[in-house]
Amino acid sequence: MSVKKTVLTLLLTGCMSLTAPLVHAAPDWYACSIAQIGTAPDGRFYIQLTDTIIDGNGDFQNSWWLLPVDREKEMLAIAMTAFVTNVRLSVNLDPLVQHSDVNGIFLLK
């Protein structure tokens, strides 16, 4: 009887793992360079970033994200400062969900 339970448990576990939904990576901090900043016809501010970790070949290249409406002006000021001074940013975002909001942004020295 215990062999039956073990086999049944293994089969059910295997079936459950095959039907489990794919899970997105949680947002994380990335060292990024800025290629472009601007507004779209909808009035939202977009920022085009490249993950520059170690050798410049990070998780994403020239990908677009939105600046959140409630902190748009503050993040835009930081992004524009980095763009004009050619300084990298530390940006908190989900690399698997382009065109989503940036969660946080810092200048890197």
pLDDT in tens, 74-87: 999 999 999 999 99
Residue 7 has pLDDT above 60, yes or no: no
Global pTM reads 0.72
3-state secondary structure of 73: helix
Average pLDDT, the chain: 82
Please give the sequence-ordered ranges of beta strands (E in DSSP) within the chain, or none if there are none: 28-39, 45-51, 63-66, 89-93, 104-107
Report residue 53's pLDDT band, with 50, 70 and 90 as the boundaries: confident
pLDDT in tens, 18-28: 444 444 457 89
Residue 54 has pLDDT above 80, yes or no: no
Catalogue all structural domains in the chain, each as residue range(s) with its CATH number. Answer: 25-107 (2.40.50.110)
